[in-house]
């Protein structure tokens, strides 16, 4: 097991995981059907049969066939539930990097991407993520569940087969803490959720990319990456695990349209996508949940790395204009298909 280390003075965490490594080079993709033995057994395999979705799982001597979404514990986890390391105090604070690391394979087809799978498939993926999220929050030592995508080499991707990572932590990540703290401060001072105010401000504005019945995608006013965009529920919702099937279908539509539009705007682009969710266990660290997408169009300079000051060569208004055009075309095609 690796260490979760904290900076000498500021709230910055680093996981040192010397045994973690990328998927070994192989002519076989471990995430493709027929290669299930290359991963850990699935804890959930979603199989479509006779118009119904079956939730199955692998056994020691049998792998589920004809799956459309597959979930299993990572063979190269960045956190584990086997506690070997000890705690140490400041200035050299560390604790065991305790937690669960699951991989959600989003399609059985190797050539599929999150920008090309169907909205129905996206809905299946989100339902599976909800399932894992609920189960993980019942486990001891789980304080926060993170969900993220590393697509492409520049974004830290280890394989091209479409998948998401679900990683738990024994503490709330600093960024979520900061968001919650800022939200509560503004809520107490002005009586309004700052992100509800943001959604209202950005709706129909120059940074809006796309909106559906229940969600809006927009480029933020002060983005850290060129062409960065966020997806927010229009109404104030703090719990992703409790959204309805209708809301899941709506979210699937805007995810597919925006990622498809991004892929058409910038070919072969690497990006990260992260879910900013409230902790599901009772506490006051609740936020207006949302998704953030960070295209890796330009490398960071010393300003970003050394000072946390971001240099952006593309205005969010210009990015929204380009992305909006491409995403609206994607949405029109998807609605036409549906």
- Which among 34, 268, 252 has a CA at the least distance from the CA of 151? 268
CATH number at residue 291: 3.30.428.10
Query: Does the residue 81 lie in any domain?
Result: no
CB 45 within 8 A of CB 64: yes
- Which among 120, 104, 114 has a CA at the least distance from the CA of 167? 104
Write down the pLDDT at residue 20.
56
CA distance 183 to 177: 10
**Which structural domain, as residue segments, surrounds residue 258?**
23-75+99-337
How far, CA to CA in Å, does 119 sit from each of 64, 166, 177, 253, 331? 23, 21, 32, 6, 10
CB 76 within 8 A of CB 165: no
Write down the pLDDT at residue 74.
94
Q: Which residues contact 198 (CB under 8 A, 6 or more apart)?
A: 232
Identify the DSSP state of 69.
E
Query: Does the residue 89 lie in any domain?
Result: no
Query: Does the residue 311 lie in any domain?
Result: yes
Tens-binned pLDDT, residue by residue, of the chain (338 aa): 678 899 998 888 999 876 655 555 568 999 999 999 999 999 999 998 877 889 999 998 899 999 999 999 999 999 998 866 678 888 898 888 899 999 999 999 999 999 999 999 999 999 999 999 999 999 999 999 999 999 999 999 989 999 999 999 999 999 999 999 999 999 999 999 999 999 999 999 999 999 999 999 999 999 999 999 999 999 999 999 999 999 999 999 999 999 999 999 998 899 999 999 998 876 767 899 999 999 998 999 999 999 999 999 999 999 999 999 999 999 999 987 54
Query: Does the residue 52 lie in any domain?
Result: yes
Query: Does the residue 92 lie in any domain?
Result: no
CA distance 89 to 95: 9
The residue count for the chain = 338
Query: Does the residue 10 lie in any domain?
Result: no
Tally of domains within the chain: 1
Helix (H) or strand (E) holding 105: strand 101-105
Active site residues: 163
Put residue 97 in one of left, alpha, beta given phi > 0 → left and psi -120 to 50 → alpha.
Answer: beta
CA distance 254 to 317: 19
CA distance 215 to 199: 9
- Which among 107, 105, 84 has a CA at the least distance from the CA of 95? 84
Query: Does the residue 6 lie in any domain?
Result: no
Query: Does the residue 15 lie in any domain?
Result: no
Write down the pLDDT at residue 48.
85
């Amino acid at each position: 097991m690796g260490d979760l280390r904290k900076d000498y003075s500021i709230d910055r965490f680093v996981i040192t995981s010397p045994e973690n490594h990328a998927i070994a080079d192989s002519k076989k993709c471990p995430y493709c059907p027929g290669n299930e033995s290359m991963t850990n057994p699935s804890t959930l395999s979603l199989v479509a049969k006779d118009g119904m979705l079956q939730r199955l799982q692998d056994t020691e001597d049998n792998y589920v066939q004809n799956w459309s979404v597959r979930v299993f514990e990572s063979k190269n986890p960045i956190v584990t539930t086997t506690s070997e390391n000890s705690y140490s105090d400041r200035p050299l604070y560390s604790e065991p990097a305790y937690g669960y690391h699951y991989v959600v394979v989003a399609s059985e087809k190797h050539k599929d991407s999150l920008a090309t799978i169907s909205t129905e498939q996206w809905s299946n993926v989100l339902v599976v993520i909800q399932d894992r999220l609920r189960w993980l929050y019942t486990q001891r030592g789980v304080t926060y569940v993170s969900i993220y995508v590393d697509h492409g080499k520049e974004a830290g991707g280890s394989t091209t087969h479409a998948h998401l990572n679900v990683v738990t932590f024994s503490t709330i990540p600093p960024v979520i803490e900061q968001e919650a703290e800022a939200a509560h401060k503004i809520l107490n001072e002005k009586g309004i959720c700052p992100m509800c105010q943001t959604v209202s401000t950005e709706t129909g504005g120059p940074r809006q990319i796309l909106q559906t019945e229940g969600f809006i995608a927009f480029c933020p006013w002060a983005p850290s990456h060129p062409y960065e965009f966020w997806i927010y529920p229009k109404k104030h919702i703090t719990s992703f695990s409790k959204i309805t099937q209708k809301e899941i279908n709506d979210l699937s539509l805007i995810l597919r349209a925006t990622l498809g539009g991004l892929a058409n705007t910038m070919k072969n682009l690497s990006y990260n996508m992260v879910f900013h969710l409230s902790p599901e266990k009772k506490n006051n660290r609740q936020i207006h949940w949302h998704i953030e997408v960070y295209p890796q169009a330009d490398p960071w300079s010393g300003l970003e790395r050394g000072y946390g000051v971001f240099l952006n060569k593309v205005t969010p208004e210009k990015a929204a204009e380009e992305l909006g055009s491409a995403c609206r075309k994607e949405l029109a095609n998807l609605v036409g298909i549906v």
